[in-house]
Amino acid sequence: MELRPERDVHPARDVYACPEQGGNRKVKTIGQAINSRAAAGLLVPVLAGVTGTARAAAGGAGHGDPFAGILLELALLILAAMVGRWAAGRLGQPSVLGELLIGVLIGNVLYAAGGPLAILIMHADLAGNIVRGVWDSGLSVAEVARGFMTPGQLQAGSAGAAVLAVLTGEGAPRYLLMSYGLWVFSNLGVILLLFMVGLESRVEEMLQVGYRALAVAVVGIAIPFALGYGASRLFLPAREPAVDLFVGATLAATSVGITARVFKDLGRTRTREARLILGAAVIDDILGLIILAVVTGIVTRGALEWGEVARITLVSGLFFGLLVGLGGRFMPMLTGFAARIERQHLTLLFPLFVAFMVAWAANRIGLATIVGAFAAGLIVNEEHFAAHRGADPVPIRILAPLEALFAPVFFILMGMQVNLAAFLDPDTLGLAAALVVVATLGKAIAGMVAGPGVDRLSVGIGMVPRGEVGLIFVSIGKGLGVVSGQVFSAVVIMVIVTTLITPLGLRWSLGRRKRES
């Protein structure tokens, strides 16, 4: 969802390749360089460390600091992110893809080795249901598990049996604490990520791009949603309609950071195609998050009621409208008040206060916290800080290191929840292939309404990648217990494929256009 073509939206999440003397390349990731031999060797301590950390933490003495295990896990995940970003940079791919794939690798290796923490992460929805059941009922873990799982789901070798063994084992409290700690860091990362996207977006830009961008965004939301819903109904006929809604919402979302990077690399950021795509992305962000809010509200209430759909849509629209309208009027005054009591770190603390408060408020009215985080970014402007001497006027520059620290945790944990064994199932592969086709086709059709005077094929291809947005959407569905492991894995494959094909397709399309002209 990155929105500015002149530079990457998230500077701390970018991967820059710089030519050195002698023809070698130096790749910088998360603030420091990793050479190729060192990066290859770093996989060994990552895998070995994550394998042994949870066991050591759980088996340690009772007087040990329970937070120490979380710190070590966080350190190893950061190391894994560095390796994944390095590998992605060497292959010319976006850093988020490297983080996701390194998570898939680590998660499946540790899961195959019987790592307790990997088991809890892989089956986070199942473990969460059991823990909530224990908390609400006061029953034992085994009693709760037997209450909502069949004997077949608890037989030896099943996911239920693996989770139950971890939760009834000696180190269960520490494993739960460690997994919960990583979950907190992961959610903090995605909130910061959406807040940064909001900071890079401007409502004025959305109004300036005109009806063409609006048409591309609306069609690019509606058609992929309908196609995704239909594909889910076709391949998952026995599932609840809520699953189809989440699959459709995931396909509706767009992440054009990859597209922006390709335009930048080709020196085409000032073209009409680039401006149109990036302008449509602003509208796409808001419409996509409203769809997410509507779908989440329907799922949590258990029924598809058009009155409820209208209510949630109205609430979402009012939330954005009032926040943007009133925020632009009162934010300068609030920033000035904050500057009186904290000037040195104003640009760090006050935007975080706004982000967390608005995210909390969004949750209170039934919207997702990431909706609030994105909306908060829309009302925080650099101009609010420029008037206060001693404060850095650029919040993005101050907040980028925080986002670079925590956002990779989210994507690695998403990768760790992808069970490669699910791809032995023909239904999963069929669903993944169908999602790739409809995801690509839906956005390509959106490019056709861009109007004359632009390369409509390039516009359509530029809207194809789902990236981090699709992962965020499907992770919310998985957290609600709606999206199964099979559907989750299929969606992740769709995200990976659309992320890979967009740079290749866009370079071909723009090159074709240049040759024809």
Q: Quote the mean pLDDT of the chain.
A: 77
> What is the average pLDDT across 431-446?
92
pLDDT beyond 50 at 272:
yes
Q: Which residue would you say has higher pLDDT here, 6 or 169?
A: 169
- Model pLDDT, residue 327: 80
Both tokens of 129, joined, read 């249901």
In this structure, the number of other CB atoms found within 10 A of the CB of residue 17 comes to 11
The C-alpha atoms of residue 431 and residue 287 are separated, in whole angstroms, by 25
SS3 category, 463: coil
- Model pLDDT, residue 69: 81
Both tokens of 313, joined, read 């849509």
In this structure, the number of other CB atoms found within 10 A of the CB of residue 226 comes to 15
> What is the average pLDDT across 307-314?
73
Both tokens of 258, joined, read 């990859």
- Model pLDDT, residue 79: 93
Distance of CA 490 to the CA centre of its chain: 16
Distance of CA 33 to the CA centre of its chain: 25
The C-alpha atoms of residue 230 and residue 198 are separated, in whole angstroms, by 31
The C-alpha atoms of residue 121 and residue 111 are separated, in whole angstroms, by 9
Q: Cβ-count burial of 151 within 10 angstroms (0-12 exposed, 13-18 middle, 19+ buried)?
A: exposed
> What is the average pLDDT across 92-96?
78
The C-alpha atoms of residue 142 and residue 101 are separated, in whole angstroms, by 34
Q: What does the DSSP assignment read for 400-419?
A: HHHHHHHHHHHHHHHHHT--
Long-range contacts, stretch 304-308, CB < 8 angstroms, 24+ apart: 304/241, 304/245
User: How do the domains of the chain map onto residue ranges?
Assistant: 11-15+181-516
The bridge status of strand 32-33 relative to strand 16-19 is unpaired
Sorted by sequence, the CB contacts under 8 Å of residue 223 that are 6+ apart come out as: 442, 445, 446
- Model pLDDT, residue 50: 53
For residue 158, the 8-state DSSP code is: S
pTM attached to this predicted model: 0.72
In this structure, the number of other CB atoms found within 10 A of the CB of residue 443 comes to 29
- Model pLDDT, residue 105: 92
Q: Domain spanning 11-15+181-516 has what CATH number? A: 1.20.1530.20
SS3 category, 368: coil
> What is the average pLDDT across 481-507?
83
Least reliable range by pLDDT among 261-275, 281-295, 455-469: 261-275
Q: Cβ-count burial of 156 within 10 angstroms (0-12 exposed, 13-18 middle, 19+ buried)?
A: exposed
- pLDDT band at residue 396 under the 50/70/90 scheme: confident
Amino acid at the residue 31:
G
Whether residue 1 contacts residue 468, with contact meaning beta carbons closer than 8 Å, is answered with yes
Least reliable range by pLDDT among 87-91, 123-127, 302-306, 307-311: 302-306
For residue 152, the 8-state DSSP code is: G
> What is the average pLDDT across 353-375?
86
- pLDDT band at residue 303 under the 50/70/90 scheme: low
